[in-house]
Every structure is written in structure tokens, then in C-alpha cells.
Chain A
Amino acid sequence: MPIAQPGRRLMHFVTLDFVKKRATGHGRRSPNANLSLTSMIDFLIVVVVFLLMTFSASGETPPNKGLILPQAENTLDMIDAPMVSINGSQILVNGNAAGNTHAIEDNKRLQRIDELFNILKGKREVWKQLHPGKDFPGVVVLQVDQDVPAVVVKSTFQTAAFAGYPNVSFMVNQLPKAGH
């Protein structure tokens, strides 16, 4: 007996035409569909152009891992400035350790953070040497976890001001404006 390709067997015994069509699958729409290449390439090019326009080569400064920033509506765009992060009890300046907040949390009173002060002051001196004759902008950005107590925030704020950074910005997540 010759070997034949197995086909559909279901409902083959029914002689009605419309049943046969259904049974053999001829009445169904093909699962393959034609895709217009022109429209697809147009779409892909539009997506590429959109993504290229929104692409930032400099990259955004992501918040440190494990740090949850609060959210605010009335915000400004980020600027390039030294980044002071406070996560738990650790203080970092541009990712490098710059002391901790244990002393402030224990005493529960405002005080200068010496290690942070020295690092920021050093950065200020370097900036002045690199940009002679220019006014120092004195901007620092604070990345502070949402649950950090006010005494730590105020101490950091004050330390930055003492180190020559009176313009302190708080990094936040942008909220869409409501009712404006």
C-alpha cells in the first residue's frame, strides 16, 4: 500500500458541500496575512526618529539603589552639579562615601557633617582652579530617601551651605501637573 500524506478525516463521510469545505479547512481564512512593506518601513522609521529625538546621550542620573525619592509637581529640570545621596544612614557624594548620619540621629540636633563638608569644600576649590575668574554657581543636588528625618536633611543642607553651596536642590520624581 502506498504511503499517503495523512489528511483530515473528520466529517469526510458527509457528502454535503458546505460540510466538506468546513472539514477540509477551505472555508476558513488563511492564517497568513500580507503585510505592506512600505507601511511597515514607514512605521519603523517614525519609531526610530521619535526614539532618537528623545534619546539623551549624556544619560540621566538615576537615584541610588534602594533609595526612594518623593514626588513633586512644581519642579525644575535637573542640572549638572555634585550629587549628595542620603540612603539610610550613609552619605555619598557622587557615589563616594562621605560620612554617615549616626551622630545626628543619636543627638537629634542639627550639626555639621565634617566629612561631607571637607569633600564639598575640596570640590569647590577644584572648580575654582579649573574656572579661574568665573563665579562659582554653588549648586548641589540632594538625593534623599523619603523616610529620612528632617534633622538629617537640615544638617546636610546647612553643611552644604557652609561648604560654599548655598543653592541646594532636592531631587524628586516629577508628577504630572494637575489642574493647570
Chain B
Amino acid sequence: MAGVDVGGGGKGKRRSLDSEINMIPFIDLLMVTISFLLITAVWSHMSRINADAQVPGPPRPDQEQEKVEPEKILHVEMRSPEKFTLVWKQGAQVVNSIEVPRKDDMKIEKGKKMIRYPDLAAKIQEEWKNNHNHFDASDRKLDQAVLHTDNETAYVYIIGVIDAIYDTHRKVTLPSGKTDDVPAFNVTFAVN
């Protein structure tokens, strides 16, 4: 048995403010709580990778359209099994094009496939440093990357490439005033 002192005291024949708690049910309760929390705990945390379908807004005939020079967009071609092609385009004009050797080092653990493209990620980072549209922390707009893939490519390869594109980060000042590290690109798919 263990005692719990809850203070008090004083003169006279008052009932003692010290009370005893039985340790056995107390430990039982702790054990049951631990068991419940362990059983209901989620150990594999799910996350998400964002993509944006570039859907234009409805036409606004009441507003005058400003002529805006098109931004440079990075097109990532993953159709070839031997190489990736990174093409910077401004409108229809090709600004720059480079090729990155493709190495599909697939790792399989308990049926889960994992593919990483560190060379592609490094090259995209280098390319972004040379061709970025948005760099300043106060500029919250992101550069655009378009992923081109053939129809047969398995989803796991697509996620590998999107992950490599999102590996390039830059500082952005949030509305709260804090500065955060965010991916420099926003990824979308080419429909062709």
C-alpha cells in the first residue's frame, strides 16, 4: 500500500486528510491505459505529394486582360528508359534542354517498391538555380514543372520523379511572418 498526502492537518480531532490508494488497481489501470494506447497507435504515418492541375479560371469579359510574358516552365520527360530530358520552355520557345542518365535502382522490401533518382534531383536543383522565375522569399509563387510520361509507366516511377522534383527547396515568407523551406516547384502532368 502507498500513501498520498494531500496536505491539510490542523488542530482538533478532524479526519485525516491523508488517504491511501491501493497500488494494485492503480498499476492495473496504468497497464490497461498503456495497452489501449499501444493497440490504437498508428505507427505508419501517411503523407501526400501535391500536384496541381493547371485549370484556367472562367473568362472575365469585364476585366481587361494584361499582356503577361509567359514564365519559364520546366518540362521533365521520362518517356525514355535510358534518360530524363529536362527542357525549359518559355511559351513555345525552348530556352534550354539537357539530358540526365536514368538509373532505375528499384529497391523492394516486403513487396513495397521504392525508387529514388538522386542524380535527377541534383540536376533539377542546378537547373532551377540557373533558370528560376521565383526566388525571393517574399514571392510566394512557385515555379512550374510539367511531367511527361508514357501511358505504360508504373505509378511508383512517377512518384520517384515527382519526389526528385520536390527535392529542390527555397525559402518563402509565410503570411504569419515566419520563413519556411518549401519545394521550389509545383508539379503538374502533361496530358499528351
Contact = CB atoms under 8 A, between A and B. Distances in A.
B45 A74 contact: no
Interface residues of B, number: 49
A94 interface: no
A126 interface: no
Nearest to B56: A166
Interface class of chain A by DSSP:
mixed
A111 B54 CA distance: 17
A52 B166 CA distance: 33
Contacts, number: 166
A4 interface: no
A74 B183 contact: yes
A54 to B, nearest CB: 7
A76 B49 contact: yes
18 contacts: A72-B159, A74-B183, A75-B49, A108-B152, A145-B155, A146-B154, A147-B113, A147-B155, A158-B53, A158-B189, A160-B53, A166-B53, A167-B50, A167-B52, A169-B49, A169-B50, A170-B51, A170-B162
Given A72-B159, A160-B53, 18 more contacts: A41-B23, A44-B31, A48-B34, A51-B37, A59-B42, A63-B46, A70-B160, A73-B163, A78-B46, A145-B155, A146-B113, A149-B151, A150-B149, A154-B189, A158-B191, A170-B51, A171-B46, A173-B44
